[in-house]
Amino acid sequence: MGIRKHKSVKESFTTMTELVLPNDTNTLNNLMGGRLMHWLDIVSAITAQKHSNRIVVTASVDNISFKQGIKLGNVITMEAQVTRAFNTSMEVHVNVWAEDIPSGTKMKSNEAFLTFVALDQDGKPVDVPEAIPETDEENSLYEGALRRRQLRLVLAGRMKPHEAKELKSIFNLEEQLPE
């Protein structure tokens, strides 16, 4: 079967579960940020691979906040979905929950956006199928994806601020940004 031109967001939805073990924690018995980022990279890359049916590489990771420590023994659940596909790149959103099973508590601990690029057999970027949102949440993430893309490309020096039309419109920056 050939590569399809469109795919629904839910087709590549991916869940990953991890148990926070002693080797994952700092001296306060909290999950190390770097370990969580590793898991986020893996679950998001799997999602992007499922969407594109290609090998993918991480092009960028947007900011990740750590509001509360995640404790030794917690069960971490990560849910990743492609929010929008552009040409060769895809934005992936991940939600993270930390669960303390003995006390029956579960909190949303983090969320993150990552961008992946699909590569062909020669390692060159290759076009990916469009991602079709269906639910309200998928539509909302899809709508916001263009301005997040522009912001990260401006920050990466790959887009001139005056080309970021979506950002101009939300921040009303017509006057401030140089052409």
Residues that bind ligand ACO (CB under 6 A): 41, 45, 57-60, 86-89, 115, 117, 125, 152-153, 156, 158
54 burial via Cβ count (<10 Å: 0-12, 13-18, 19+): buried
Cβ-based nearer residue to ligand ACO, 74 or 152: 152
| Residue 69 C-beta-side C-alpha neighbours within 13 Å | 12
Min separation Cβ 103 and ligand ACO, Å: 34
Min separation Cβ 18 and ligand ACO, Å: 17
Cα 6 from chain centroid (whole Å):
19
Min separation Cβ 33 and ligand ACO, Å: 16
- Which amino acid type is present at position 32? M
57: helix, coil or strand?
A: strand
Strand partners, 2: none
Min separation Cβ 40 and ligand ACO, Å: 10
Strand partners, 89: 117
Cβ-based nearer residue to ligand ACO, 53 or 58: 58
The answer to whether the CB of 107 falls within 8 A of the CB of 98 is: yes
Distance CA 105, CA 77 (A): 13
Min separation Cβ 60 and ligand ACO, Å: 3
